[in-house]
């Protein structure tokens, strides 16, 4: 019987020779068996991979669920607090960074907004300082004055906003403090516009600082709206708008024509005649006093005085711009009466002065938070 020629097959790209049909049959059987085994294992492996992938996604989903829940809760609280504000998107984005927002009271939420605004003011101040340093030679005289004004106004704004934060920390807000808060926030907003007023509408410097100042004003505007949500605020607002025997209800109860928070000593000073008043310095045009200008007297007045410091200004026309800075506390000007003691000045924008610097008498005041309605004020009786 003639021998069969060798049988050749291709498996995995390798040429294999088999000497006999028996070997071929056995080998083919083993190949089929391995193929069946491979096919039976593949579905199981795929199933395991699917289960593993699903389990991983489930774990990731479960781990993200608390974060998503917290995020949604913060967003809801932020939208609720920012309701009725004029700049809601800015309000929500700011409050969304406040930890545990949903557990905070209205005063705490306002304090956070105001604190954030303080940081914005500080950044604006640094920005103006940088402009002065980098572009000083390119700035004209009016721009230099305007930038100096802005820096001073930023300091005033920070002082006002910090006073707001301090007042909001009390457990129960009185009507006096409520109106103080409104005054302080309104003043902080006005400062930004006063700063911008010093620049030309199309100037480069104005363009560099305007967006920051607008953001500050918008934050303060939002705080003013949220202020109305403080417990008792509605009652204070209604009492102001309703018919009242008081001419200025925002100043609180009145007694003998003065708010009750004005001390009896200060009332006597304001009501007394010149001859019956004890004064600390005298300003006289004719040289019979301590100084011939009001500004000189203000300069030597004590800083942060705890008692009233009285400057008597004799009759005459004083041509000067008087600035009473914030550190000159408890200062009082006393004159000889209307038409006798006169302060005049002629600064104006046309002559190269900013609006801020053109005031004849500029007095900066900030309420003290330690005593309700006690002001670092400057009574003027000229």
Q: What is the pLDDT of residues 322-351, one digit of tens each?
A: 888 888 888 989 888 888 999 888 887 777
- Side-chain half-sphere CA neighbours of 96 within 13 A: 11
Question: Residues 293-303: pLDDT tens digits?
Answer: 999 999 999 99
**Is residue 19's pLDDT more than 50?**
no
pLDDT for residue 159: 94
Query: What's the pLDDT tens digit per position in 46-97?
Result: 545 555 555 555 555 555 555 565 567 778 888 999 999 999 999 999 999 9
Q: Can you tell me the distance from the alpha carbon of 345 to that of 352, in angstroms, rounded to the nearest whole number?
A: 14
More confident residue, 145 or 268: 145
Answer whether 261's CB lies under 8 Å from 254's CB: no
Residue 31 burial (CB count, 10 A) = 12
Can you give the pLDDT at residue 255? 75
Q: What pLDDT is stored for residue 46 in this prediction?
A: 53
User: Which of 14-18, 248-252, 267-271, 341-345 has the largest mean confidence?
Assistant: 341-345
Percent of the chain with pLDDT over 90: 41
pLDDT-derived band at 241, boundaries 50, 70, 90: low
d(CA 157, CA 119): 11
Q: Indicate yes or no: pTM above 0.75.
A: no
Of the listed ranges 119-128, 272-281, 304-313, 352-361, the one predicted with least confidence: 352-361
How does residue 289 score in pLDDT terms, banded at 50, 70 and 90?
very high
**pLDDT tens profile 144-173:** 999 999 999 999 999 999 999 999 998 888
- What is the spatial distance between Cα 108 and Cα 111, in angstroms, rounded to a whole number? 5
Q: Would you state the pLDDT for residue 226?
A: 96
The residue among 180, 173, 371, 340 whose CA lies nearest residue 266 is: 371
């Amino acid at each position: 019987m003639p021998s069969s020629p060798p049988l050749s097959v291709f498996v995995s790209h390798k040429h294999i020779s088999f000497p006999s049909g028996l070997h071929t049959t056995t080998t083919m059987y083993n190949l089929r068996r391995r193929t069946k085994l491979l096919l039976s294992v593949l579905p199981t492996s795929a199933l395991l991979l699917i289960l593993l992938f699903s389990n991983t996604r489930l774990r990731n989903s479960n781990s993200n669920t608390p974060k998503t829940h917290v995020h949604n809760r913060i967003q809801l609280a932020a939208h609720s607090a920012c309701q009725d504000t004029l700049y809601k998107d800015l309000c929500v984005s700011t409050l969304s960074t406040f930890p545990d927002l949903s557990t905070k009271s209205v005063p705490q939420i306002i304090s956070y907004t105001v604190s954030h605004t303080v940081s914005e003011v500080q950044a604006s101040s640094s920005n103006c300082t940088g402009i002065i340093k980098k572009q000083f030679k390119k700035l004209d005289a009016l721009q230099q004055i305007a930038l100096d004004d802005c820096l001073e106004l930023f300091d005033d704004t920070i002082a006002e906003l910090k006073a707001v934060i301090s007042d909001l920390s009390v457990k129960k807000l009185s009507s006096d403090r409520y109106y103080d808060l409104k005054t302080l926030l309104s003043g902080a907003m006005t400062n930004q516009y006063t700063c911008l007023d010093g620049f030309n509408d199309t100037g480069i410097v104005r363009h560099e600082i305007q967006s920051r100042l607008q953001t500050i004003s918008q934050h303060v505007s939002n705080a003013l709206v949220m202020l109305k949500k403080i417990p008792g605020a509605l009652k204070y607002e209604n009492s102001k708008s309703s018919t009242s025997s008081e001419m200025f209800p925002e100043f609180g109860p009145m007694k003998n024509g003065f708010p009750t928070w004005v001390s009896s000593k200060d009332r006597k000073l304001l009501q007394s005649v010149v001859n019956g008043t004890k004064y600390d310095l005298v300003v006289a045009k004719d040289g019979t006093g301590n100084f011939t200008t009001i500004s000189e007297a203000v300069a030597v007045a004590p800083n942060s005085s705890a008692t009233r410091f009285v400057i008597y200004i004799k009759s005459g026309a004083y041509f000067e711009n008087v600035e009473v800075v914030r550190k000159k506390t408890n200062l009082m000007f006393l004159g000889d009466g209307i038409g006798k003691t006169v302060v005049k000045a002629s600064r104006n924008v046309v002559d190269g002065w900013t609006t801020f610097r053109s005031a004849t008498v500029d007095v900066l005041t900030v309420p003290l938070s330690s005593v309700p309605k006690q002001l670092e004020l400057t009574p003027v009786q000229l």
